[in-house]
Copies of this chain bind each other. A is one copy, B any other.
Amino acid sequence: MLNFDFHNPTHIAFGKDRIADLDKLVPPHAKVLILVGGASAEKTGTLAEVRTALGARQHATFSGIEPNPSYETSMKAVAQIREGGFDFLLAVGGGSVIDAVKFIAAAVRFEGGDPWAILEQHGRNVTGALPFGSVLTLPATGSEMNNGGVITHRAKGAKLAFGSKHTYPVFSVLDPTKTYTLPPQQLANGVVDAFVHTVEQYLTYPVDGAVQDRFAEGILQTLIEVGPRILAAPEPVYADRANLMWTATLALNGLIGAGVPQDWATHMIGHELTALHGIDHARTLAVVLPSLLDAQRATKAAKLLQYGERVWGIRTGTDDERIDATIAATRDFFERMGIPTRLSAYGVGADSVDKLVAQLEAHGMVTLGEHRDVTPAVSRRVLEAAL
């Protein structure tokens, strides 16, 4: 096991009817800015519930945080916070809104000039942030219980990640019934996003992280169990939604990645697919992962065999046959979730590969993966095999 630090101070309030707890979770005299994405939080009644729970506290709402949240929109929120003297932020939404609120909270307190510098330094220059909480409505990214975010600077055409010990949510309210209004595609994306987060921290090489491996496998098994059931259910089933919501949080709250190597090449290659072709984040992961696992089958062999055996019950055949079957089972799972795993299904052809590889190079993504051996040439092979 590798040395590690684990420190996650976010308070999770999980379950039915927990939004009412905002009254206890938000400081009593806070002046609260609620931040949301589009109109759905208003339409579903979640915003009304939030406002009721805030009681006599002064509050206002900032809306319009987009998927792949932008620096530009975030800075409008920063201006509103400064003008209005808000001292507590409340993200209501999914990973995009929470990511943006992390950046906004740090930007309000940032004293090093243009807050874009926070992204350029990946958060190392953050020395404080406004306190903030979240009400999660879309299980997927784990942003509700970690300190990371990804922000896009539209004018610069740059998408960068940051994190800081100051950007953990003080609390996150996780009410599984808030997922009941999500369309199937967003639920499927959430399952696959959480699945690939787990794989990025698990499918590397063995370092005797026995309990980390078991936890990662437990998350994958749970997603495999509840994912297709959620898609097939004519009406939402609370238990399945609860398991998806808590599992997606645990997939990226630092726990399963503590003390083990991490990969993240699939995410980095996937980001370019989103940037150039507008494909949903989770869908890019479903496309890239099977192909990447195949390309890296030699260095990942030991963990691929373990994953195949423990998660998919694949125990017979030569090592190569078992690895083939394991990658096929992974691809099949994504397809069963209604997510195509070939670039052709998204209208992306061989002619896009050059540009995608060039973008990886332009963004410095030239030594990816747990061994830093996913060079642009390897990324090219991965993309070509995913056509």
Query: Is A15 interfacial (CB 8 A cutoff)?
Result: yes
Q: Look across to chain B and name the residue whose beta carbon is closest to the beta carbon of A208.
A: B239
A250 close to chain B: CB less than 8 A: yes
Determine the chain B residues whose CB is within 8 A of the CB of A3 once the complex forms. Answer: 14-18
| Copies of the chain in the assembly | 2
Q: Are B5 and A14 in contact (CB under 8 A)?
A: yes
Question: Are B211 and A250 in contact (CB-based, < 8 A)?
Answer: yes
Residues on B with C-beta less than 8 A from A15 are: 1-4, 259
Q: Chain A binding site: helix, strand, loop or mixed by DSSP?
A: mixed
Residue-by-residue, is A1-32 near B (CB-CB < 8 Å gives 1, otherwise 0)? 11111111111111111100000000000000
- In the complex, the answer to whether A4 meets B14 with C-beta atoms within 8 Å is yes
Q: Looking at the complex, which one of B11, B208, B239, B246 makes contact with A5 (CB distance below 8 Å)?
A: B11
A101-145 CB mask vs B (1 if < 8 Å, else 0) is 000000000000000000000000000000000000000000000
Q: Is the CB of A7 within 8 A of B11?
A: yes
Q: Is A219 an interface residue (CB 8 A)?
A: yes
A5-B1 contact given A210-B222, A221-B214, CB 8 Å threshold: no
Q: Find chain B residues with CB under 8 A from A255 CB.
A: 255
* Least CB separation from A258: chain B residue: B14
Contacts A7-B11, A14-B4 given: A246-B259 contact, CB under 8 Å?
yes
State how many angstroms separate the Cβ of A210 from the closest Cβ of chain B.
4
> Contact between B219 and A214 (Cβ–Cβ < 8 Å)?
yes
- Asked if A247 lies at the interface with its beta carbon under 8 angstroms from chain B, I say yes
| Max count, chain B CB within 10 A of own CB: residue among A10, A14, A217 | A14
How far apart are the CA atoms of A181 and B29 in the complex, in Å? 53
Please give, as numbers and ranges, the residues of chain B lying within 8 Å of A246 by CB-CB distance. Answer: 1, 211, 259
- A86 sits at the interface (CB 8 A): no
Q: Which residue from B6, B16, B215, B221 sits with its C-beta under 8 Å from A14?
A: B6
Chain A, 245-273, contact with B by CB distance < 8 Å: what is the 0/1 string? 01100100001001100000000000000
CB closest chain-B residue, reference A2: B15
A300 to chain B, nearest CB (A): 20
Q: How far is the CA of A176 from the CA of B246 in the complex (A)?
A: 30
User: Given A214-B221, A217-B218, A218-B217, are A242 and B208 also a contact pair (CB < 8 Å)?
Assistant: yes
Measured CB to CB, the closest approach of chain B to A303, in angstroms, equals 16
> How does the 8 Å CB contact mask read for A186-219 relative to B, with 1 for contact and 0 for none?
0000000000000000000000111100110111
In the complex, what's the smallest C-beta–C-beta distance from A227 to chain B, in angstroms?
Answer: 11
Q: Which of A1, A2, A239 has the most CB of B within 10 A?
A: A1
Report chain B residues within 8 Å CB of A325. none
CA distance A1 to B8 in the complex (A): 22
Question: Chain B CB within 10 Å — which of A4, A8, A208, A214 has the most?
Answer: A214
Give the residues in chain B near A258, CB-CB below 8 Å.
12, 14
Whether a CB of chain B sits under 8 angstroms from the CB of A384 is: no
Q: Is the Cβ of A259 less than 8 Å from the Cβ of B14?
A: yes
Query: A75 an interface residue at 8 Å Cβ cutoff?
Result: no
- A243 contacts chain B at the CB level, 8 A cutoff: yes
Contact across chains for B8 and A8 when beta carbons are under 8 A apart: yes
Residues on A close to B: CB < 8 A?
A: 1-18, 171, 176, 208-211, 214-215, 217-219, 221-222, 225-226, 239, 242-243, 246-247, 250, 255, 258-259
| Pairs across A and B, CB under 8 Å, 20 listed | A1-B242, A2-B15, A3-B14, A3-B15, A4-B14, A5-B11, A6-B11, A7-B10, A9-B9, A208-B239, A208-B242, A209-B243, A210-B225, A211-B243, A211-B250, A214-B215, A214-B219, A215-B218, A217-B218, A218-B218
Closest 4 CB pairs of A and B: A214-B218, A3-B15, A208-B239, A7-B11
